[in-house]
Amino acid sequence: MHELSIVSSVVDSVTESAAAYPGARVLEVRLRVGALASVVVDSLEFCWGIATEGTEIEGAKLVVKTVPVVVWCEPCGKASELDGVQSFRCPLCGELTMDVRQGRELEIESIEIDEAGENETAGRRDKAEVPG
């Protein structure tokens, strides 16, 4: 499944970033997904549950933000946002354009981390020192 491999790489990347905050818990991951990224948002959310299961970020919430398509129109000399992905015409003059400036994104926008979790970890570390 296309979405599962995308989500898996997001999980890897988030896990890596979260490693900089030992003991902190990842609460929420925000993704920016362009309207042209050809991914199904519902599938991303579904795969998120599978991909995070059993990992350090299990239970983190996935928030997908859809980014609209923006095209550059040469005659108008400006970029405009499109309503959909059906037609690549400048909304101002109707000129056909294939100069897509935005809408192919597939990136992590932000990761929300519960740093208060550090205190809990300190407690857990103490316990971990007890053999057995």
Judged by the rule CB under 5 A, the positions of this chain that interact with Zn ion are 73, 76, 90, 92-93, 95
DSSP state of 84: -
Measured from the CB atom, the residue of 1 and 93 that comes closer to Zn ion is: 93
CB of 101 to Zn ion, least distance (A): 13
How many Cα atoms within 13 Å fall on the side-chain side of residue 97? 24
Q: How far is the CB of 120 from Zn ion (least distance, A)?
A: 56
Judged by CB, which is closer to Zn ion: 4, or 76?
Answer: 76
CB of 93 to Zn ion, least distance (A): 3
Cβ-based nearer residue to Zn ion, 93 or 108: 93
CA distance 64 to 75: 34
Closest CA to 112 of 32, 30, 55: 30
| CA dist., res. 94 & res. 110, Å (int) | 36
